[in-house]
Amino acid sequence: MSEECVFCKIIKKELPARVVYEDDNVIAFLDINPVSKGHTLVVPKKHYRNMVDAPDEVVAKVHIVAKKIGIAAMEVLGAKGFNVISNNEKVAGQEVFHFHVHVIPRYTGDELHYDVKGYKYTEGEADEVAKKLNEALK
Residues found near Zn ion in the complex (CB under 5 A): 2, 5, 7-8, 47, 98
- Residue 17 binding partner per list Zn ion, ligand 5GP, none, with a CB distance cut-off of 5 to 8 Å that depends on partner kind: ligand 5GP
Closest by CA position to 39, among listed 59, 66, 15, 13: 66
Instruction: Among 3, 4, 75, 95, indicate the residue that binds ligand 5GP (CB under 6 A).
Output: 95
Choose between 23 and 53: whose C-beta lies nearer to Zn ion: 53
Instruction: Among 5, 6, 19, 59, indicate the residue that binds ligand 5GP (CB under 6 A).
Output: 6
Order of strands, sheet of 19-22, starting from the edge strand that comes earlier in the sequence: 19-22, 26-30, 40-44, 101-106, 81-85
Within residues 15-44, the interface with ligand 5GP by CB under 6 A covers 15, 17, 29-33, 41
- Residue 32 binding partner per list Zn ion, ligand 5GP, none, with a CB distance cut-off of 5 to 8 Å that depends on partner kind: ligand 5GP
How does DSSP assign 105-132, residue by residue? Answer: EE-TT-----------PPTTHHHHHHHH
Choose between 72 and 101: whose C-beta lies nearer to ligand 5GP: 101
CA dist 112 and 78 (Å) reads: 16
